Structure 1
Amino acid sequence: MSAQALSDLIAHARETAALGRVSGLISWDQEVMMPPKGAEGRAEEASAMAAVLHARRTDPRLAEWIAAIDPAALPDDAARRDVELAARDHARATRVPAALEAHLASLSVRSQGIWAKARAEDDFAGFAPILGQMVEARREQAAALAEPGQDPYDALLEEYEPGMHAAALDALFARLRDGLVPLAAEAGERTLPPPLTGFFGQDQQMQLAREVATAFRYDWQAGRLDLSTHPFSSGHRGDARITTRVDEGDPFNCLYSTIHETGHAVYEQNIAADLYGRPAGSYCSMGVHESQSRFFENQVGRSRAFAEWLAPKMRAAFPDAPADAEAFFRAANRIHPGFIRTESDEVHYNLHILMRFDLERELMAGRLAARDLAEAWRARFEADFGTPPPDDRRGALQDVHWSLGLFGYFPTYSLGNLNAAMLEDAMRRDLPDMDAMMAKGELEAIVGWLTDKVHRHGATLPAPALIEAATGAPLSEAPLLAHLRRKVDALA
């Protein structure tokens, strides 16, 4: 009975995962290919898919299969995680009404389109009403998901970082902030290299983006690169797609967005084939997922060693690019308190995240109304960075996440940075010639190390256990602060 129940559970999970990938494809199409007038129909389609998926995730047979499985009879640790994750997901899904899931899916499509228009037109007032609807819907979902005595925000955080709590993040981020603020102040006292100026054509940027993604071992037979308003990665294993964006006055935007999204996609492409479609065959947390994109982007992409390989390619594509590797390294790591998170230097980046973490908790707790977000953003940004953003396009409208209802996602970026720094320390112990590899653009061993330690395992281990197994240490802010200290010193 136990073996048959496990077989039935896995078969059901595989089909649900396949339908989830279909839902992901229509989301990808919405942001990359869909014509503007398709939004109304797409909202209906997303709502219908959400209803189908919710019905499968709340299927009463799941509870019956899980109850019939003898844990002692499971063949391996991966199967045990399959059952554990299936039970967790079923319990969460059954707490949320089907109508609310369908409403959230439809609302997300409509909200994203309104956000994109509002961002382009710097019109927060035009976005605020539907943001208010999204906040209320997600608060309703959080209340349904929360277990007795649980902070509703923690119930949302669980979706992206299982087992993490806002209280633990508060303590961790307070220690991180204590290290970041004086480091940012010190860096701000130094003479900055001039920003890039000139014209950097879209075709050349996209050609270079493809070349760099290839160097990071992106499998083009299992992915593609397109343009979108906000860069993202989507898909799984054999179809892991990435998008980027182009600013013809700033090639770093496209370059580092592409490297970042490639990190996500390569993680997905390298999850072990035998886990495909199973509950344990997904990523273990977004903090781990973001560690792969941030590692590619910062530990490799912005390193002095990698500049030896990348700078000549930039110069060949763009006559206005920095003249040599050292100039490129300094330009790519220019430390200044900019307004845009995705264009931020490493020192200031986490201050962007800590601000969003605080603001979204205020929204979810009902202490901040959606209509007041832009003003709250300006006040908090001025307090943290010294000057308010000049407009809402570079303020509360810059990120897509809240329009999609992704409350609880932002802190995983800082967790990703923390994990990435820990992984770098461990990798350098195992690969002492890592810098020489990066200087030649030979990243096979680096990506191979990450695949062995992180990618292939999928969700067979919880995130804290996976990172500790890979690095030999529990999560800590110290390696990231040490990494940033070295970066600031290198730019002296």
Structure 2
Amino acid sequence: MASTDGSDPEAADGSGSEAYDDLVERYGRATYLGDANAVLSWDQEVMMPEGGTPARSKQRGAVSAVAHDVLVGEETAEALDALEGADLADEEAAVVREIRREHERNVRVPTDLVEEISTATSEAHPIWQEAKESDDFEAFAPTLDRLLDLKRRYADHVDPDADPYATLFADYEPHLDLSTAEDVLEELRAGLVPLIEAIGDSAAEPYALAGTFPEADQLELTREALETLGYDFERGRLDTAPHPFSTGTQFDARVTTRFDEAEPFDSLASTIHEFGHANYTLGLPRGEYGSPLGEHRGLTVHESQSRLFENHVGRSEPFWKLFVDRFDDHHGTDLTPRQAYEAANRVYDDNLIRVEADELTYHLHIVLRFEIERDLVAGDLDVAEVPAVWNDRMEEYLGVRPDTDAEGCLQDIHWSHGSFGYFATYSLGSVLAAQLYAAAEAEIDGLDERIATGEFGALHEWLAENVHEHGCRYRTDELIERATGEPLTAEYFLEYAERKFGELYDLDRYGEH
């Protein structure tokens, strides 16, 4: 096993032991099965014929059950027991820590429940998609009710004494507690609401792009954006899906996007967002595949990588100095870099769709979802009430009311995946992205100039050295402090937002003049 701190793992007592080797081998088998399941899921959302769901749901359920059995099996428990108190090298101790956590959480969950959840989520995807296309929440409601019940049962098995929503949140962010997410969301709400209100009162009018931009041209442009940023098509691919996502391993990390012929900046932003995910995945240590050292460090860190590239790179003025000519060539426009920058950063507080929202109002979308999910999981909100509550809070937080459920509570795919507890990581990731980017700027000479000339190597190298190559060696808080020198804080994001949008909207209170 490789070591990044110069120590010799083989020299430590317990390193290379039969118990350790067996533990890593068994965890690897569970990982490979999970990754195979992810490919089945990707295929279902991107390539599979519509009629394939009955078989696919059984396939995915069976694979999930086998992976679960490997992870919680008696042999895994025996290996962990044998390593209790062992004198391990730092990297080995991290491996055991991460596997122990996964084992201890999952051993409490019956295999038949794991299989039922996997089957249900596979079956839910086409139901959600059809309900969205037909604007029929009632058609999805029974499925949502079923998934909530399954995930409540899952949470109760993991820890019957804990807040079930906290338990579900920990599946996506294992080392930052739910109270941290709540604090960050509250801090963002307190800082962003007055900024958004000031923007609404401003007389400034950043450039707005209008027209029709064919999907084929947008697809070519998004592919060129991926190439410009350094996406490795030898280990990835670009496809379309109802909801953009990225999935894969360090050997095969795929991205998807979607298009609106009236909004070419949206497809570009979502593709760059997914590039950030894939870039992190592809940057994980190849030699550690199948071990926690070859896995991402939770969704907060993963979302920090996507939001960093989407916003701090893809929505930056230096990027548009680099990319505006390519945009013009594909779409027949004649934009200046400044016009493109302004168009890519307009604040629309009446935007109904989260993935198309600007950097600021985006977080009010997250707050809305977070609150509704908490109430659903707690049983304080009935599924039938979701559309009305969603619309009321959309009107309260963003001043706009959806005309359809397709634009409202059916817009996101996450509930069909059973991904309750996920949404807060988008805001946590945005906060961390700003903190990481500030640290990178402090260490990389002329980062803006490098981006403006298409030189992304230094940024990729910094992210690899400070985030990607560590896998799960460090807990989330430890990784953040090692990379930035301080704990997670929303200060960098709020300062960045106030500086950027203060200048765009000519706000004396916020901008630097």
TM-score interval w.r.t. the shorter chain? over 0.9
**Following the alignment from structure 2 to structure 1, what is the Cα–Cα distance between the partners of residues 85 and 471?**
21
- Give the corresponding residue for 1:6: 20
- Give the corresponding residue for 2:252: 239
Q: Which of 67, 73, 78 in structure 2 is aligned with 1:59? A: 73
1:437 is aligned to 2:450: yes
- Give the corresponding residue for 2:60: 46
- Give the corresponding residue for 2:354: 341
Tell me the CA shift for residue 144 of structure 1.
1.2
**Following the alignment from structure 1 to structure 2, what is the Cα–Cα distance between the partners of residues 194 and 295?**
23
Q: Which of 268, 290, 312 in structure 1 is aligned with 2:325? A: 312
- Give the corresponding residue for 1:188: 200
Q: Which of 471, 496, 501 in structure 2 is aligned with 1:488? A: 501
Give the letter for the 1:431 counterpart: I
Residues 101-126 of structure 1: CA deviation (Å, up to 9, x unaligned): 11111110111111111111211111
Tell me the CA shift for residue 8 of structure 1.
0.6
1:332 is aligned to 2:344: yes
Q: How does 1:130-149 map to 2 (within 5 A)?
A: 130-146=143-159, 148=161
Tell me the CA shift for residue 194 of structure 1.
5.6
Q: Which of 218, 230, 238 in structure 2 is aligned with 1:205? A: 218
* Distance change (3 Å), C-alpha of 1:397 and 1:70: closer
**Following the alignment from structure 2 to structure 1, what is the Cα–Cα distance between the partners of residues 106 and 371?**
27
Tell me the CA shift for residue 227 of structure 1.
0.7
**Following the alignment from structure 1 to structure 2, what is the Cα–Cα distance between the partners of residues 393 and 201?**
23
Q: Which of 137, 140, 164 in structure 2 is aligned with 1:127? A: 140
**Following the alignment from structure 1 to structure 2, what is the Cα–Cα distance between the partners of residues 490 and 252?**
20
**Following the alignment from structure 1 to structure 2, what is the Cα–Cα distance between the partners of residues 163 and 458?**
14
Tell me the CA shift for residue 256 of structure 1.
1.0
Matched length: 489
**Following the alignment from structure 1 to structure 2, what is the Cα–Cα distance between the partners of residues 131 and 430?**
47
1:370 is aligned to 2:383: yes
CA contact (8 A) 1:215 1:442 kept: no
Aligned partner of residue 23 in structure 2, secondary structure: helix
Tell me the CA shift for residue 199 of structure 1.
2.2
Aligned partner of residue 360 in structure 2, secondary structure: helix
- Give the corresponding residue for 1:228: 241
Residues 311-356 of structure 1: CA deviation (Å, up to 9, x unaligned): 1110011014x61100000000011111111111111111111111
Residues 163-185 of structure 1: CA deviation (Å, up to 9, x unaligned): 33333322232122110110111
Q: How does 1:155-304 map to 2 (within 5 A)?
A: 155-190=167-202, 191-193=204-206, 195-304=208-317
**Following the alignment from structure 1 to structure 2, what is the Cα–Cα distance between the partners of residues 444 and 316?**
25
Q: How does 1:467-478 map to 2 (within 5 A)?
A: 467-478=480-491
Give the letter for the 1:23 counterpart: N
Gaps of 5+ in 1: none
Identity of paired residues, percent?
Answer: 39
**Following the alignment from structure 1 to structure 2, what is the Cα–Cα distance between the partners of residues 36 and 189?**
48
Residues 279-327 of structure 1: CA deviation (Å, up to 9, x unaligned): 232111100000000000000000011110111110011014x611000
Q: What is the alpha-carbon root mean square deviation over aligned residues?
A: 1.4
CA contact (8 A) 1:307 1:326 kept: yes
Residues 391-434 of structure 1: CA deviation (Å, up to 9, x unaligned): 11111011000111000100000010010010111111101301
Aligned partner of residue 239 in structure 2, secondary structure: strand
* Distance change (3 Å), C-alpha of 1:147 and 1:284: farther
- Give the corresponding residue for 2:467: 454
Tell me the CA shift for residue 248 of structure 1.
1.8
- Give the corresponding residue for 1:69: 83
Structure 1 segments, 4+ long, off by >6 Å, are: none
Aligned partner of residue 409 in structure 1, secondary structure: coil
**Following the alignment from structure 2 to structure 1, what is the Cα–Cα distance between the partners of residues 469 and 428?**
20
* Distance change (3 Å), C-alpha of 1:167 and 1:120: same
Q: Which of 79, 102, 116 in structure 2 is aligned with 1:89? A: 102
CA contact (8 A) 2:175 2:477 kept: no
Give the letter for the 1:429 counterpart: A
CA contact (8 A) 1:154 1:164 kept: no
CA contact (8 A) 1:128 1:370 kept: yes
Aligned partner of residue 73 in structure 1, secondary structure: coil
CA contact (8 A) 2:188 2:494 kept: yes
**Following the alignment from structure 2 to structure 1, what is the Cα–Cα distance between the partners of residues 71 and 112?**
14
Gaps of 5+ in 2: 1-12, 506-513
- TM-score normalized by structure 2? 0.93
**Following the alignment from structure 2 to structure 1, what is the Cα–Cα distance between the partners of residues 213 and 127?**
29
Aligned partner of residue 256 in structure 2, secondary structure: strand
- Give the corresponding residue for 2:410: 397
- Give the corresponding residue for 2:51: 37
- Give the corresponding residue for 1:424: 437
The answer to which of 477-486 and 183-192 deviates more is 183-192
**Following the alignment from structure 1 to structure 2, what is the Cα–Cα distance between the partners of residues 331 and 53?**
47
Give the letter for the 2:71 counterpart: R
Give the letter for the 2:188 counterpart: L
**Following the alignment from structure 1 to structure 2, what is the Cα–Cα distance between the partners of residues 204 and 449?**
33
**Following the alignment from structure 1 to structure 2, what is the Cα–Cα distance between the partners of residues 194 and 428?**
28
CA contact (8 A) 1:283 1:458 kept: yes
Q: Which of 31, 39, 42 in structure 2 is aligned with 1:25? A: 39
